[in-house]
Amino acid sequence: MKAFKGVIIALCLLGLSACAVETGPPVSRQELQRTQVEIWEIKLREYLKCQSRVGKVLIRLLPHTDREERSYPWFLVKGVDLEKTPPEVDQALSRIFARSLPSKGLLLTFVHPYYKERGLVPGKMVNRVQTFKARLGEPVRLWVEGRPWSAKPLELHTRPVDFQIVDKPEPNAWVTPEYKMYVTLGLCRVLPEEEELAAVVGHELAHLKRGHLQKQVLLTTLRDLLGLGISAVAGETATDLYRLGTNFALLKFSRDQEREADFYGLWYLSRAGYNLDRAAQVWVHLAAVLPPGPASILSTHPPTAERLARIRKIVSYIHQGKSFEEIRHLNP
């Protein structure tokens, strides 16, 4: 009887679905695909614009960061691997670059001006990579549009930083110990001015170039190792007190690093010729347009009134030619 009732219910539902009226005109598969391509074109144009903006800022800032004794090869080129992209993306890219695209290969989307002058430009296809690691004095060899291409890499007197745009709406930027910077599309959206975007990029570069990430990893590792020893010898209460004290110490260390990154980030901008007064407005701008949240840049860079006022003072000190060591212990 229960099985019979189940069959009746299923038939009723089937009948109701058959009676359902589809609203609006029918859409063909071709029309749906065309719309998907249009959506991808809009998304990719925004992505590539953000990639270009961040790349140009990085190219302008990086040579003005902390100079090192050794030199590095710098081969800054970004592209899309067409073998890994769906057909809608391929068609959107084809429209953006006004060309037909092969099914595989690397489509160049951003190229350092040094290599543009040598014939490597966005929109061209890299068919084959012969040089997998750039070395000073040795040419980078590629096959581009079916022809051999080579050029000696650009020399840089500081360790190069790679970058990647992340398709996330939350405005944020961060760096990793592997010398890679990540910038979200959301950050590009809320910072239309180059100086403001440069201020965030410069701040993250300062964290890398001043060794903050490596120091944090080292201190955290030492804290955990010593904590294990204390736990084994002195017990749970001593371990809790130890962790409480070290967490406060790490918090102060983190605040000190933020202050140092505030200074050096703006100092890099000054050396690169940016307008510091406009760049310093970035934290005011972000505080005004963004609600604080766990995924936002404001969660790790709180725009307190004290910090905003201090950043304006830093700008004044940099204009006076003062160094970080000269101002770090000054009374407010």
pLDDT-based confidence at 12, cuts 50/70/90? low
Cβ contacts of 108 within 8 Å, gap of 6 or more: 77, 78, 79, 120, 121, 122, 123, 124, 125, 126
* Better pLDDT: 232 or 318: 318
Q: Answer whether residue 10 is part of any domain.
A: no
Same domain, 274 and 256: yes
CATH code of 71's domain: 2.30.42
Distance CA 104, CA 122 (A): 16
Same domain, 95 and 209: no
Instruction: Quickly list DSSP for 232-289.
Output: HHH-HHHHHHHHHHHHHHHHHHHHHHHHHHHHHHHHHHHHTT--HHHHTTHHHHHHHH
Q: Answer whether residue 332 is part of any domain.
A: no
The Cα-based distances of 140 to 100, 113, 135, 324 in angstroms read: 26, 16, 8, 39
pLDDT tens digits for range 104-160: 999 999 999 999 999 999 999 999 999 889 999 999 999 999 999 999 999 999 999
pLDDT tens digits for range 155-207: 999 999 999 999 999 888 999 889 999 999 999 999 999 999 999 999 999 99
Mean pLDDT, residues 9-29 taken together: 60
Same domain, 50 and 67: yes
- Asked if residues 101 and 125 have their Cβ atoms less than 8 Å apart, the reply is yes
Same domain, 104 and 204: no
- What is the pLDDT at residue 304? 61
Same domain, 51 and 193: no
Q: Is 328 exposed, middle or buried (0-12, 13-18, 19+ CB in 10 A)?
A: exposed
Q: Answer whether residue 168 is part of any domain.
A: yes
Same domain, 75 and 207: no
What the block records as the tokens of 263 is 């200074």
Q: Answer whether residue 90 is part of any domain.
A: yes
Residue 223 has pLDDT above 50, yes or no: no
Same domain, 183 and 76: no
Q: Answer whether residue 16 is part of any domain.
A: no
Residue 40 has pLDDT above 90, yes or no: yes
Query: Which of 156, 187, 212 corresponds to the end of one domain?
Result: 156
Same domain, 303 and 167: yes
**Overall domain count for the chain:** 2
- Domain extent for 253: 162-327
Same domain, 264 and 321: yes
Q: Answer whether residue 81 is part of any domain.
A: yes
Same domain, 109 and 196: no
Query: Which of 104, 135, 156 corresponds to the end of one domain?
Result: 156
pTM to 2 decimals?
A: 0.79
Which CB contacts under 8 angstroms, 24+ apart, belong to 142-149?
144/119, 144/120, 149/118, 149/119, 149/120
Same domain, 181 and 247: yes
Same domain, 126 and 221: no
| % the chain with pLDDT above 70 | 73
- What is the pLDDT at residue 245? 41
Range of lowest pLDDT (22-31, 47-56, 91-100): 22-31
Q: Answer whether residue 1 is part of any domain.
A: no
Mean residue pLDDT of the chain comes to: 81
113's enclosing H/E stretch is: helix 113-116
- What is the pLDDT at residue 229? 46
Q: Answer whether residue 75 is part of any domain.
A: yes
Query: Which of 156, 181, 206 corresponds to the end of one domain?
Result: 156
